[in-house]
């Protein structure tokens, strides 16, 4: 009797879809809302105006992120489905040529011709479309596009990210909103970058400074623009 060895290693590639969307949403929520609040505050806006602006930015940004992620990821999913449909038709019309094509893929990866044909035969018998999707098209269950998942993860994380600078604006004194929002947003960005890097198996330090740098640039430029408009007004 033959026993199959159970694969017990833990990998992170199955997190790519939702992790990318969640990190993008949270990062954009913090950066865009904080920059918006800092820019408006630098233009000498009232506290009430800041709260309205931040709330509107949170709602609009969450909807924009959800729509953008859904449309872009759905485009990827449509392309994958079109490729699978074409592959399915080719398998039905000329399975022999597809078998040779699959064997050639394995030979290019270093497998001997005899073994490559044996592997292709067995995989074609087991799951012909799945084998070609994975090894020819690069489509797998872990990496396949999931539009709704990406949209929901992006929108939810945007709301969480945007809520941080907005909450600081609510409790911070009016005359020191800018340093408070800027400081707390940078701490949040650094934490987000570190956590995202940790979840993806990368360097936490690199992840932290990377998102923090872009946050500083975004908030600095927006503050400058707000100050210029405030001076003109």
Q: What is the pLDDT of residue 9?
A: 47
Q: What is the pLDDT of residue 13?
A: 47
Comparing 51 with 143, the larger pLDDT belongs to 51
Q: What is the pLDDT of residue 7?
A: 45
Count Cβ atoms below 10 Å from residue 135 Cβ, excluding itself.
18
Q: Helix H segments across the chain?
A: 16-42, 47-93, 95-108, 113-135, 147-171, 177-200, 204-232
Across 151-177, average pLDDT: 89
pLDDT digits 0-9 by tens, 93-134: 888 888 888 888 888 888 888 898 888 888 888 888 888 888
pLDDT digits 0-9 by tens, 59-78: 999 999 889 888 888 887 78
Contact 21, 153 (CB under 8 A): yes
Q: What is the pLDDT of residue 4?
A: 45
Q: Helix 147-171 and helix 47-93: axis angle, to 10°? A: 170
Q: What is the pLDDT of residue 92?
A: 86
Across 26-54, average pLDDT: 90
Q: What is the pLDDT of residue 143?
A: 57
The predicted model scores a pTM of: 0.68
Instruction: Give how far Cα 175 sits from Cα of 37, 45, 78, 209, 212, Å.
Output: 13, 11, 51, 29, 24
Six-digit token pair at 60? 């609009």
Q: What is the pLDDT of residue 193?
A: 84
Q: What is the pLDDT of residue 163?
A: 94
Across 185-214, average pLDDT: 85
Across 192-204, average pLDDT: 80
Q: What is the pLDDT of residue 162?
A: 93
Q: What is the pLDDT of residue 232?
A: 42
């Amino acid at each position: 009797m033959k026993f199959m060895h159970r694969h017990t290693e833990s990998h992170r590639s199955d997190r790519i879809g939702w992790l990318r969307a969640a990190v993008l949403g949270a990062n954009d929520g913090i950066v865009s809302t904080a920059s918006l609040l800092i820019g408006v505050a630098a233009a000498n806006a009232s506290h009430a105006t800041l709260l309205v602006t931040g709330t509107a930015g949170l709602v609009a940004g969450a909807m924009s992120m959800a729509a953008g992620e859904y449309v872009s990821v759905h485009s990827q999913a449509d392309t994958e489905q079109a490729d699978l449909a074409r592959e399915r038709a080719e398998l039905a019309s000329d399975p022999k040529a597809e078998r040779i094509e699959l064997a050639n893929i394995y030979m290019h990866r270093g497998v001997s011709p005899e073994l490559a044909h044996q592997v292709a035969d067995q995989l074609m018998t087991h799951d012909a479309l799945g084998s070609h999707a994975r090894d020819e098209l690069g489509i797998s269950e872990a990496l396949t596009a999931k539009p709704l998942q990406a949209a929901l993860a992006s929108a939810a994380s945007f709301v969480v990210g945007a809520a941080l600078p907005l909450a600081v604006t609510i409790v911070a004194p009016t005359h020191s909103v800018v340093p408070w929002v800027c400081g707390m947003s940078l701490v949040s960005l650094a934490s987000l970058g570190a956590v995202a890097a940790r979840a993806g198996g990368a360097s936490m330090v690199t992840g932290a400074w990377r998102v923090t740098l872009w946050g500083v640039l975004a908030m600095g430029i927006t503050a400058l623009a707000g100050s210029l408009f405030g001076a003109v007004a």
